[in-house]
Structure formats: structure tokens, C-alpha cells
Structure 1
Amino acid sequence: MKFKNLFFLALILSLFSCVKEESDFEFIGWLPSTEATKSINDLLNIPEGELNRVEEDFLSLGYSNSAFWIKLRAKVDVSEFDGAYLSFANPMLNEIDVYNEQGQLIQKVGRLNFRQSDYNTFFNQINVSDQSGRTFYVRVKSFGNNNIPIKIVEKSNSGLSLDERNVLFGLYFGIVIAMFFYNLFLWVSTKDSIYGLYISYIFFVGMTQGILGGYVDSYLWPENTFLRQYSFYLSTVLVNIVGIYYSLKFLNIKSFNRKIFKLGQVIIAIYFLILFAFLVDLGIGQFKFRLLQIFLGIVPIFLISISIYSLRKGYRPAKFFLISWFLLICSMVIFLLSDLNILPHNFITNYIFTFGSAFEALLLSFALADKINILKKEKEAEQMERLRVLKENESLIKEQNNLLEEKVRLRTDELEQALRNLQNTQSQLVSQEKMASLGQLTAGIAHEINNPINFVSSNITPLKRDVADIMEVIEFYRETANTEFTPDSIKKAKQLEEDLELDYVLEEVDQLLKGMEEGAKRTVEIVKGLRLFSRVDEQDIKKVDLHDGINSTLILLNSSIPGKIRIVREFGELPMVECLAGKINQVFMNIINNAVHALSDHMDEVNDPKIEIRTKSLGETVVVEIDDNGPGMPEHVRQRIFEPFFTTKSVGRGTGLGLSIVYSIIENHKGTLEVETEVGKGTTFIITLPIYQSTSKYE
């Protein structure tokens, strides 16, 4: 009893040392995510007065399957921190989307957004040191009780580093694995079912802590959404089922009091019902979470009670059992108080449940060891069997080492695959940079050509006027010569005209002037097309006439389009569309160029090769269809045309990046790109773009 008094005193001191910290935020309000508040743009347009107010500095939104929008404002300037991080200290939040003051997404974290490739995302810490404003918008979705502790931490003071956390959990799992295998050997040697129940219990305890730490989700089911949502609750239920049954068997409750034993069986049956409710949708919604939380409060009291009861009946191993459950319950209380924001989130409150679980595993193992000492006095012959089990332990450890080596090999293969994906992405970025450089070069050439061609085009009109004046003078001389010149002078003048071929020269001058005028007009048109196509000075989204972009693209491609290919324009009435004009022109260039190549390579097989470009407006979107009557594509090619580096062209003619970049551009514009094709009947690319990107309809 002295040990329990000392521990209780230590617990009280730890609780008083955990001084409640003031919140870093002013909670402006919250709203449930509905159809009216489906996106961040909807929330930005809602006045603060229409938000649900938060009177406390801790956000608890109760039980709900729905998502919640939260608007909060930092009380401090994040730029004053040495690496500011927005921390959500509840590891059970499934989805956390954080937006800045302008409504731009900063990062997604949470259990469902947790990426295996970036393990730091499991800690729900988001870097906001580069954000200028103090206002943040948070979208949160989880199950059970939605307690959302939010605070700002510095990089230098953001808790344990990843390596330190791995070492901490490595020690914990080392204890659990050691206890697991030690008692597994005892189970094999003694054939006592109580050891089987213990190793089952400690297995599920370790699994639960692994889920809380993110390791199980990362390595066992990184892509399984159901398990990432419910694995903690399922493991918690299994821990309680095995733990209650193990306690009843270990403490000999059935031999002491059958009524208490049956009560324990009833509790186990209720837990099986809860487990079934999680595995199969019974339509009870949040009720299963509340029922689970209720019994999580009842079960520890029940276990401590039967431990005291068994100890009073003279069963000595119940002493360790009682102490272990007492430690675990105290750690659970501190953990729950921090979850409810009664205690602050720090090293003690964040990992007290892990420490309590480790001590519980050790003390329960001590309780079993005490039972072993009793059995040793009765059966000394079992010592040889234990030595045999220890030898088997060595072989099992070797097997585990081989298993770990295999896991390392698999992880290495995964990293190599990730490296290949990164290289593919790098190639796409290089291609995009080349296209940007080409756009700048095109714009520069257009600018440089524009000045001299302006001189030519502006001088043609006065030159034509001057030539016309000269023609009038020549005609006057001709008419005057018949009356004023002597016959001899008239003869010499006619001879000179014949020698110079004056009529032909005058006609040639007229043709040359017409050619110069036509050439100047075409050059001006080409320069205009180059400038429209490049748009290098437009880095922001602007309202653009898509028809201008299509026409400029066709002008640039005019020299590469064979004369047999007809270009058919069926333009509808289109509004101005918000987009990055240079990027959209790049889309038109790639698709039309591919259509030209498809028709050029099969010119003899197509009777009337043509490319039809159709545009139309559909409410809030516009549609551009680029159709060719070329050879079309088989299904297996159509499914892969947007993959990076996939091309059907011969070596040297295509890189396989064009359509991949096109798809990324359309996706970044919140549009869609569809392909309809059939072998022998041509191909149609259907581009759908929203009219509005960043501005509202009536702005």
C-alpha cells in the first residue's frame, strides 16, 4: 500500500505541475460543412457574425460524422517565431485542411491525409512561417468526439524530433516484443492458456500504440482507408475483449465468484457488439463511439475491483495485476485530460499513455513471473524445458532478422521507385521550362521584327501615292509629246520607251507594290500571332478570347500544315475566359500539332484530310473540340496517351511529354480533357474549361 500512496502523490504533483497554457488563437467561429459551405470560397464569403461563436479557448465540436469549418486568428505574429508550426495535438483527427487568409491551401494532414513518404505529416504540424496574415481557416473531419487542440509551436520547441520519437517508440516496442516472445516461449513450454491470453493482450496493446504513433498505418495498411479510419477503435475494442477475459482467467474470478465472472462475460459480449457495429454498418452512427467511450470508463473500474477482490481472497499474483492497472488508469486519466484541454499538451501528457502501457506490460509480466515462481516450486522439471525454449528463441530472432532484412529490401525498392517517379517529374519540369523559354524567345523575335516591318508597312502607302504621281507625269509627257515634240523627238521617245519596256516596267512596279503590301500585311499578321501565342508578360490569370489563341496557333503552324489538310473553324459565341493564356495556347499547339502529324503520316489513307475546331459555351463552362479524321487510336494506346514519356511517334520525333503537360495544364485550370477515338474514324479531344477561376461571376 505504501507504493500506491507514493505513486498517487507523484501523480498529484505531476497534475499540478502541468499548468494550463493560454491559447495561441482567438476562435472567431465555426460552421458545419454543408452544400452551402462546401469549399473555402464559400466560407470566405460568409460574414463572421453568421459563424457559431466559441466562448472558450478550446474547441470541442462534439460527436459528428460531418466535417467542420473553423475560422481562427493568431494572437501572435507567426513571423516572429523561428520556424512557426500550426500544431493539432489530437492524432485521431482524420482530415485537417489548413488555408491561409487568402483562402489558399497550405497543407493537408490527418490520418487519411497521412503520406507514408512524408512521415512528419502524421504529427499534424504545418509550417506557417511563410504566411503573412494571422487569420487561418481549418476544415476538420473525424469520428467520435471532435476535440481540436490547436497551438503555435516553434521549430526549435516543437516536441520530439522524428529520430527521438523513433527511439522512444523503439524502446517501447522493444519492451512489448521482449514480453511477447518471452511469454510466448513460456506458453509453448507450459501449455498454459493464460500465457496465450497475455501475449494476445500485449499484441493488441502494442498494435494500439503503434496505431497512435502512426507506425502501423505507415507499414501495414498505408492505402487502406477503412483501416486508417477505424483501426484505432477496432484495436481498442480487441484490447478490452482480450484484457477482460485475460483478467478473469488470471485472477481466478470464476472459482471465487461466478456472478462477477458472468458480469465480465456480459461486458465482453457488449464489446463484441461494438466490434460488429464498426465492421458492419448497423445504422447507429455515432452511438457506437459513445458506447465505446462509456465502457472505456467502466472497464478500468471493473478490472481494479476484481483485482482487489482477488487479492483479498489471498491470490498473491493479483498484487502486480492491481498495480499495473492502477498505473495504466492514471496514465489514461492524464491522457484524456490533455485531450479535453484540461491539461496542456507536452511531453508528459503526450506520451504518458505510452509509458503507462509499457509499465503495465512489465508488471503484468511480473505477475506472470510470480506465478511461474509458484509453479517452479511444484515443477522443477520444467527448467529443462525453458532452456529448450531459449534455444528456440535464438532461431526465432534469426527469423525476425531475416524478416527485417526482407522489409529493408522492400523499402529500398519502394525508394527506388519513388526516385524514378521524381526523375519523371523533373523531366516534365525541364520540358515546361523549355516551353517557357521558347515563349520568351518567340515574344522577343516578334518584338524585334515588329519595328522594321512597321517601317515597311507605313512607307508602302506614300510610295504608292508617289508612284501614282509619277505615272501622271509620264502620261502628261506622252500626251504633250504628240503636239509639242518634233517628229524626230517623238521617234526617239518611242524608241526609248521600247528599249526600256516602259509599259512592262510600270506594270511590274504596280505588281511589286502589291506584293510588298501583301507581304507586309502577312508579316504583321504573323508577328501578331507570335505575340498572342507567347503571352510571356501574362503570369497571372486574365480574361482571354480563346478564338484569338486558336487563330494565332494556326498562324504559327501554317508552314508545317500540308496543303491537302483543310482547317475547318466552327466557332460559337464564347465569353471571355479566365486562364493563363500562354499555357492554354500551349495546349492548342500540342493537340493541333499531333493532329497534323497523324494526318500527314496517313495522307494516302484519308480521302479528305481535315481538322475541325469547334467551340461552344455551356453555362459556366466553355468547350473546345479539336477533331481530325485520321487513323484514330486503339484502346490500349488511348489509355496511356497522358502518361509521361509514352509516345507512338518514331525515335527523334516525339518525347512523350506533350499530352502529359497538356493534361496537367487543363487540370490546373480546374478543367477536364477527354479523348474520343476509334480506329479508322479519327480522334476528338474535348477540352472543358470553367469561365471563372479566381474571381466571382459578377465581379
Structure 2
Amino acid sequence: MKLIQNHKGLSIIAAVGLFFILSIVVIYYSDLMKIEKGVFVENFILLEETDIESISNINEIEIQDPMFIPENIGFHKGDLLIRFSGKNLASNPEDIYFLEFSNPLINEIFLYKILHDGSLEVYKKAGINLRDVNIFSNPRPVFEFSYEDLNSSDFLLKVNSKDKLGFTLELVERNEYLSKFSTIANLVNVYIGIMLSLFLYNIIIFLMIKDRVYLFYSFYVMFIALAQLSLLGYSYFYFLGQNADIYSFSVIAFPSMAGIFAIGFIKLFLKTSFHVPKLDKYLVVVVILYSIAIGLRLLGFVELSYRMVDIAGLVGVIFFVTTGVIVAKLGYRPAIYFLVAWGVFLIGLVFYIMQNQGVLNLNIYANFPMLLGTAMEAILLSLALADRINILKKEKEDEQHEKLEILKDNERLIKEQNTSLEQKVKIRTEELEETLRNLQNTQIQLINQEKMASLGQLTAGIAHEINNPINFVSSNISPLKRDIADLLEIVGVYREKGGEEFSEATKKEITGLEEDLELDYILTEINQLLKGMEDGAKRTVEIVKGLRLFSRVDEQDVKKVDLHDGINSTLVLLNSSMSGRIKIIREFGELPMVECLAGKINQVFMNIITNSIHALTDHLEDNPNPEITISTRNLGDSVRIEIGDNGPGMPEHVKQRIFEPFFTTKEVGQGTGLGLSIVYTIIENHKGKLEVLTEINKGTSFIIILPHYQKLPQNE
């Protein structure tokens, strides 16, 4: 089978490799800054660092309650004291409780019981410096409590470590603790069995065929397994005789030796001296860095040795992935196995990192990704080595059938050229189709823009023509009211004087006329008519103002505008669509004048509010109290406008597509699918942000962020 030479596939592999490299870079630097992140442990209190021998009364020490215990304090000289109360932590009087530390590298932990007079009494102790104190040979430091002791006392923990002082605390009941311990131990034993089998299998192959690549691979498998067991703490009990110094050294030595043997394996397995002679010369840099890390640890520079291992690992991964991709592009099939194996390992590493960073919570399986990753990597590389035999066999067969292969190669070349040509034609066709779609989208948007511009000019003209007569009406209402008031005053005088001076016949005739004309009702109706005229004129003025604001859609000059005016004018124009059925809630904050294309922003408000109105009016039977809430807020250098409704909301798959041109959930003929696409384009052109929050049966909110100023030459 010929190796895949598709550059797209190799580019994907390279991108994945770079992703993992960046992940490791992030972890390397986050390790330096992680002290700011802590885990809150209820009822636990972190005391100041102090000399415990000088404490006569622990109750006199000022403490802050509660506070955070950092997950990774880093390299810390001296003791770390943690005070906690066991009261109310235990619930079952008949059970046994275990307090477990997550870090197996802690040298000493002394647990003191705080007596009534504030003095301290050693209660228990744990740590790698104290042999034979860990029950069940659990690599993690653990303390056992009875219900009575835990519930009746306060305790003080003194923690000391030469290595990184990072840990979490967990208090569990006996059954849960034993179940967790048993599960982890079983996983580790399975892991040891797999790695031991691979080591012995490849050592036997080396002894049979004398190929050094199997020797380097066997020792790589051995040391990578030992490195994992040291990080988990099991090597302290299984292989190192509970020697704290050797165990601490192994945490640096085993990974470093694994890295050194990995370099030797890669050089032979990928034939780097032949395929990438330039890179081959630089691979020795990784060996030097790992050797320096071991030397620094032997000389007592613990923190520097950790940093050097991190740097060596980062440089090594860069070299490994780069070498694998380059050799794979040259057509060397084992490089594909190599990249896949390392990809699996790095996936396990990323899951392990995500667990440490709190992104994932794997509980008792927290270390499982690394165990699985290294085991799968070892298995895949072992399969790749086994495939070398098949490769050699195939090479011999190819030599015997050379002439036949030449003919087949010619035929294959023609087929590949045809396939390549078809693929290129297909790709080009897809590009042309995509270009056509983009042109169609652009054309439709231009047409829509022209329509809006024409509509703007039309509404501007209508607004101007309506404005003059309505101003005349508005200005004449007040004088008319005064004149009618004067007339009514005169009529009142006539009625009063007539009652005194007119004859009875005349008064009777006038009274009859008043009753026929319903004079009292006319006087009341006049006031109502005048009020209706005044209200109608004001309403018309508001509509004209809205039309004038909306008519600015064709403006191309950036101006400072009041966004509240734009929102209010839009609501005026859409008032008839709501028919009084939808409640509008305005929660306006203090906003500065904002530089923007006023007409375009009005179009944004129009499209979003229109969508909300449609969503609410289409589901009135399910929502008897429809509401649209519009809130604004100043964010300093930008403003925030939120338009939300209490409608039916949208499912996730609809939310992902609402800004696509021509996408609509309305019936055929009821929508173009361009409204929100235009909104997105307008906000993007204003260098703003648009976010959608929606939930089924909870409603939808559109959040718009607009900068105060656009990037114009006068603002630079």
C-alpha cells in the first residue's frame, strides 16, 4: 500500500501537532503563575508560615477564615501550616474517615491535635521521609480518623516538601476510600502489565535480530512507565524501597532517561540522518538538556531541574512533531505510525492538563489519561516496529517484480493524474460556485441597500411634506382653544343676561333651541375634539420625527448620534405592528453621543425588534403577556444595547445559522432570510460585537456592543 501523500492531510497532522505544542507551552507558563488559583476547602484555614516549635498557644495566631488553599504553591522553603476543624465534617458515628493529600511527593506531614489550652500534641504523621507509616501502601499521604476524634477536635497540619508544594485535600468515608484506592491500584497494575509485556517482547526481538531500534524502544518503554509510576507515587513502594531521596530523584531521572532513549529510538526508527540530516544534528540538544536536568537534580538544584525537564520536554515535542511531519511528507510510512502514536500520547497529556486546570473532573480517574496515553503510544509504536518486517519483505518482493511494477506505476500514474485532474476540476468548480453565491449575496445586499436608500429618500420627502401642514395644525390648536374659550365665555354671558332681560316667550324659544341643539353636550364635545386634535397632532409629529430619523439609511457619513432617539423612532414606526398587544420596557442608561452611520444603526434596531415582534405575535396563545425589553448601558469606551423578548426562543442548531444569508424559519414568502445577515454586517462594519442569548421557552436577547468612536483619521 502506497503511503498517503496528500498535503492537506499532512497539514492537518502538523496543525494538530502545533496545537499540542501550544498546549504544553501554556501549561509550562501557567505552572509559574498557578499560585493565584486556589481550591476552597470548607472548614480548612491556611495559617501564616511560622516555626511550629515557637507556638505556645495556637489560638493566639491571627488567621483569616475562610480562605483559599493554593493548588500549586510552587517551591517553598519552610513549613506550611493548615488548621482545620473536624466538627460537622463527619456524619456517621460508626464509620472511619480518611484525609488524603493528592501529592505523593510531600516529604513530611505532621498532624497535631490542638488541645484545650492551645498547645499541640502529635496525632499522626505521613510523607515519603517517614517509612512504613502509610496504610495500605497508598502512594498518597493519608490520615485515618475515628468519628469521635474527628468530630471533637481541631487539628493542625504541618506540611514540608523539597519538591513542588502543590496538593488538594479530600475527606472521605472508609468504603469510598477503599473503593477509590482499589480502582486506582487495579488500573496501575494493568498498566504495569502492559508496559512490562511490551518491554520483554521487544527485548526478545532485539536479541533475535540485533536491531538497535528495538533496544532503544525497550528502554524508552521501561523509563516512560517508570516515570508515570513515579509521578503517581507507586515506584516509591514497588521499586525504590521507600527511599525518599531516590524517589525524589526518580521524578526527574525517569522522564529524562525516557526522553534520552526516545531520541535514540527516533533517530533509528525515522532514519533521521538520511531523511532530515540537518534536524538530525540538532536532536542531540534534547539529550543535552535532559542530561543537564539530571545533573542539576544530583547537585541539589531541585527547582532548576524541574524547569530544565519542562524546557527539554517542550523542545523535544517540537523536534519530534517537526521531524515526523517532514519524514511523513517524504513518503516514509513508519512516520505515519509515529505521528499517530505521539498524537495519542499528546491527547492523553492534554486531558491530564485539562484535569489539572479544572476543565475536566475525572475523579478517581484523574491520572488515567496519561496512563492510557503512554500505553497506547507504546502499543502503536510496537506495531509500527512490527510493521518494519513487512516493509522489508515488501521491498524484496518489489525488487523481484520490478518490470511489472513499472507498468503498474505508469497505469497508476495515469489514473492518479486523471483523479488529480478531476479533483482539481471539482475544487475549481466548488470555488466558482462559492464565488457565484458570494456575488449573488452581494447583489441582493446591494439591491436591498438601494431599496433602503430609495425608501429613505421617499420617507424623507413624505416627512417633509407632512411636517409643514402638521406644524400649521399644531401651531393653530392653542389659538383655537383660546378663541373657543372666549366664545364660550360670551355665550355664557348671553345666557346669564338673557335670563334676566329677555321676555318669557323669548327665553322659552331660546331654551327650546338649546335643547334641540344639545348645547351642553356641544360644549363638552368641543373640549374633547380639541384634545383629540392636539393628541393626534402630537402623534403625527412623533411619526414624522421617526420617519425623518429612519430616512437616514442612505447616509454614508459617520456622525455622532443619540442612540435612544433611534430606538424610540423605531418603536414609533413599529407601533402599529404591535397593536397594543406587546409591552415595551425601556431600561435606558446614560449614554454619550456615539459615532456611527445613524441610518444603518436604525436599520439594525428595526430588523431585531421586528423579529421579536413576529416571534411574540406568532405565539400569543402560549404567551399571554408578551414583552420586549430594551436596555442600554455605557461600558467606558463602548456602549451596550440589549434587545430581549420573552418569546419561544430558538434551539441551538437554529441559533448557529441565524446570521447566514437566506436562512429563515418563516413560511415560504414571509421572509427573505437577509434581515439578521444585514444586521451582522452592519455591526461588523462598525467594529462592534453582536451576541445572541437564547433558550427554548425562555426568550431571546440580542446584545450589541458599539465603540464610542469609529477608526477615522481625526480619531487616530
TM range (shorter): 0.3 to 0.5
Normalised TM-score (structure 1): 0.47
Normalised TM-score (structure 2): 0.45
